[in-house]
Structure 1
Amino acid sequence: MPVTINTPLTLQSGLTFPNRLVKAAMTEGLADPRNRVTDAHSTLYRRWAEGRAGGLITGNVQIDRQHLERVGNVVIDASAGDHEIGLLSRWVAAAKSKGAAFIMQVSHAGRQTPKLVNPRPAAPSPVALGLPGGQFGEPRAMTQDEIRLVVEGFGRATRLAKQAGFDGVQVHAAHGYLLSSFLSPLANRREDDWGGPLENRARLLADCVREAKIQGGAAFSVSVKLNSADFQKGGFSHHDCLMVIGMLNGLGVDFVEISGGNYEQPRMMDMDGLEPSFEEPKHSSTREREAYFLSYAKSVQDRASMPLMVTGGFRTLAGMNAAVATGEADLIGIGRPLCVDTATPKKLLSGEIEAADRWESRLRIGPGIFGPNSPIKLIKALNGFGAQGWYYEQIRLLAADKPADPELGVLQAFLAHQRRETSGAKAWRAAMP
């Protein structure tokens, strides 16, 4: 029998996905001002669970309240105790209510922490993001002690995730966040044991995985999200990715999710970057044009000893089934379609639909709104962040147990999201100890 998206998959840890569709991590922004799980998380994940994906991966749960991707992130830091574990357990109960595996994505935002949260975020080196708009602060180089605290933080989050009932953790080393920036020669210009050759740049990722494995134990899933490339000249390359995969082979990683890009070159959002993109996939088939990291996944499969999850652009049932049948992907990550139709996995698995909707193709802010002389970088950045805002607003509707609103204007959503983040930051600062 050929493998299809309906075929279960059991990982080395013993964790079984009842099918090959996985809700990929998407930031929820639903935590309270003290960065704790809320009822909105349970409502949202109950609805996603009813969609019958084989696995659900949370949005990035941060290990440091001073380094958030946005103020609504859930945080597990040294102050977490029984109350926080109880809230996490309620989240788990909702997400696992229909049989899906539930995995916590653990992260540290690093230099991609908004200035509203931290004007001087920690980073491997003091290299600022090349983005217009001033949303991000001036990063500072981390000390050796701070780096060691990051490793402890990933371990702590793993231990508490297991205690709360999660099936595993995903170490987030993609998209330009802290572990990803350590991997990048552009962002990491250190001359100590944490910088220079790839072995040093990958040391923090390897140490975090080792600590997570220790804290989770053999029967707890530890996976990694890794860029296939940053798509920036001089950045983390696909060759680097293959070398890191070789390092992860010996660490007992359950599976690796392949994605790509960062805020400066946002390929993970199916958006153009601010500069010409390097190492773009050489599309040779309709399937590869649909799933824009699939051409990279083939070479990763040749190197990897663990299963591979591919996220980014998959929309058609035929493309998904072909990818798992040929072994190009073991798991298919789906994100944005679930922000509008939570039943998308169930419809694909049953054959009710042949393809998920591609809403992002309609989400563009035209230059005319800001005048004919608007800088192209500004328009590109607004398109990326505008689309993000649109999906964030859909997630908020779902979490309030309301229907999504596909007719919502992208500019309206972008401005509403910005207002919400600004007011959220004020509430977050007021709640800080």
Structure 2
Amino acid sequence: MSHLAEATSIRHTTFKNRIIKAAMSEALANDAGQPSQLHFNLYEAWAKGGLGCAITGNVMVDVRAKNEPGVVVIESERDLAKLQQWAALGKKYGMVQLVQLSHPGRQCPKGLNRETVAPSAVPFSPMLATTFGTPRELREDEILDIIQRFATSAQICEKAGFEGIQLHGAHGYLISQFLSPLTNKRQDQWGGPIENRMRFLLEIYKAVRAATSDQFIISVKLNSADFQRGGISEEEVVAVFKAIDAAGIDLIEVSGGTYEAPAMAGAKAEKRKASTIAREAYFLDFAEKIRKEVKCHLMVTGGFRTVEGMNAALDSGACDFIGIARPLAVETDLTDRLIARQDVRYAVHKIKTGIPMVDKMAIMEIIWYAAQFKDIARGKRPNPKLSPLKVFLKYAKNNITAIIKGQINSRRSA
């Protein structure tokens, strides 16, 4: 029997198989950050395809801090009925759903929000500084407010019927910004040694656990590394994993990279050892190391392409779940096919527009797949040959429109 088909449980929730859809940006919400029928259609397509668990795309905990247009925001019970409808469709097909809760910190395009905030006022690299502005350093009362926002959002998710949440602590978002010495230059209790830099994550976990029931799953996505010189060290990363495990986390997804060094999209794949490439997953070697240090469930995402490789990873004990992201954007029935021992049909490759600055940022690894989601949500078939340039031009146009709208609304509310 394929390990992929094995059922397992976390707390009181049964996962019917070991395949989890990792979070990917859907960009399907309206300007107010509300979920819609398009979200339901998209997730039902994956549920019908046999998926054991789906982690939603980025869901913001603060409407004032959006990472992109079209992102869902949960900060009150305003959309409880819609969230209940979303949660119910997962239960209909036996698909566990975890809501990825996030605050982008400094990773917001210029003009989208009134301002951006971060642990410290650290600017982006010159290549990205034209897109992302220098943030304002957070005050301590604001830090405490954000911690409570995560707890409030999680409480609403449980009330809606979702089985759990995932804290986005990777890819350069706010939790990750606190963890990294590159973006956290603070000298108070939230910065300095790793014990202080991980405080934000641990306090969020404690607040979420206090606001939800014992049966509610709390997971976290963490970087194995920043992949940037001067970033968080491996020793510090291990300390973070051990601390959040000791605090009681249920599941850790192992990932890596930031917008400035997007290893999560395979951007560092060409530098990996041949032995690592043969094992497929980008972060499997690190997962093997961390497996010896933590007791919670582990999930590895990125690079898997064959049933043999996935089963080998599970058999090794390095991880308990296989995370799949981009292949599911063009094969909604991929889970059923993998269970039937059929490999990924469309190999993931670097999406290029032909515009050097855009291609270096690896932003197409997000928005090209989001374009596929829109088609699936509207009842169309995904198109593996979709033009990256056309997708980018449409995205740029919509982004500019959203930013203009946001500026107008900010002036009106000022």
Same fold at TM > 0.5: yes
Shift in Å at residue 319 of structure 1? 0.3
Find the counterpart in structure 2 of residue 158 from structure 1.
154
Contact 1:71 1:428 in 2 (8 A): no
Identify which of 342, 345, 350 aligns with 2:340: 350
Matched, 1:359 2:348: yes
Letter in 2 for 1:164: A
Q: Report the equivalent of 1:149.
A: 145
Q: Contact conserved, 1:62 with 1:73, CA < 8 A, in 2?
A: yes
Change (3 A) 1:53 1:238: farther
* CA deviation after TM superposition for structure 1 residue 359, in Å: 3.4
Query: What secondary structure sits across from 1:170 in the alignment?
Result: strand
Note the C-alpha offset of 1:271: 2.0
Q: Contact 2:353–2:392 (CA<8 Å) still a contact in 1?
A: no
Correspondence for 1:123: 118
Instruction: For structure 1, list consecutive stretches of 5 or more residues without a partner in the other structure.
Output: none
Residue 389 of structure 2: which of 401, 411, 424 is its match? 411
- 2:262 counterpart of 1:284: no
Aligned residues: 410
Residues 71-220 of structure 1: pairs in structure 2 closer than 5 A: 71-77=69-75, 80-81=76-77, 83-118=78-113, 120-132=115-127, 134-220=130-216
The residue number in structure 2 matching 1:327 is: 317
RMSD of Structure 2 on Structure 1 (CA): 1.9
User: What SS class does the counterpart of residue 134 from structure 2 fall into?
Assistant: coil
1:425 maps to 403
Q: 1:309 aligns to what SS in structure 2? A: strand
Q: Per-residue CA shift, 1:60-115, capped at 9, x if unaligned?
A: 111111211112111112xx22x411111111122333101110010000000111
1 CA distance for matches of 2:249 and 2:345?
30
Residue number among 379, 394, 411 corresponding to 2:372 in the alignment: 394
Amino acid in the other structure paired with 2:71: N
Question: Per-residue deviation at 1:120?
Answer: 3.2
- Which of 17, 20, 30 lines up with 2:18 in the alignment? 20
Answering whether residue 360 of structure 2 is matched by residue 381 of structure 1, we say yes
Give me the identity figure in percent.
Answer: 37
CA drift at 1:308? 0.3
Name the counterpart of 1:298: 288
Q: Distance in 2 between matches of 1:214 and 1:51?
A: 35
**2: CA distance, partners of 1:292 / 1:386:** 19
Secondary structure at the counterpart of residue 275 of structure 2: coil
Compute the displacement of 1:428 (Å). Answer: 4.9
Q: What is the rounded CA distance, in whole Å, between the counterparts of 2:48 and 2:233 in structure 1?
A: 38
Residue 51 (structure 1) shift: 1.5
8 Å contact from structure 2 (residues 112, 402) kept in 1: no
Partner-residue secondary structure (3-state), 2:363: helix
Return the match for 1:68 from 60, 66, 69: 66
- Partner SS, residue 300 of structure 2: strand
Q: Deviations over 1:219-278 (max 9, x none)?
A: 1000110001111111122222211111012211111000000000001111259xxx9x
Equivalent residue of 2:349, what SS? helix
1 CA distance for matches of 2:407 and 2:115? 15
Structure 2 distance, partners of 1:51, 1:239, is: 40
Q: Is contact 2:111-2:406 (8 Å) kept?
A: no
C-alpha contact (below 8 Å) 1:228/1:241 kept by paired residues: yes
Check the 8 A contact 1:5/1:349 in 2, yes or no.
yes
CA distance in 2: counterparts of 1:265 and 1:285, whole angstroms = 19
In structure 1, what residue type is equivalent to 2:5? N
Task: Find the aligned partners of 2:309 and 2:217 in 1 and give their Cα distance.
Answer: 27
Question: What is the alpha-carbon distance in structure 1 between the residues aligned to residue 191 and residue 274 of structure 2?
Answer: 33
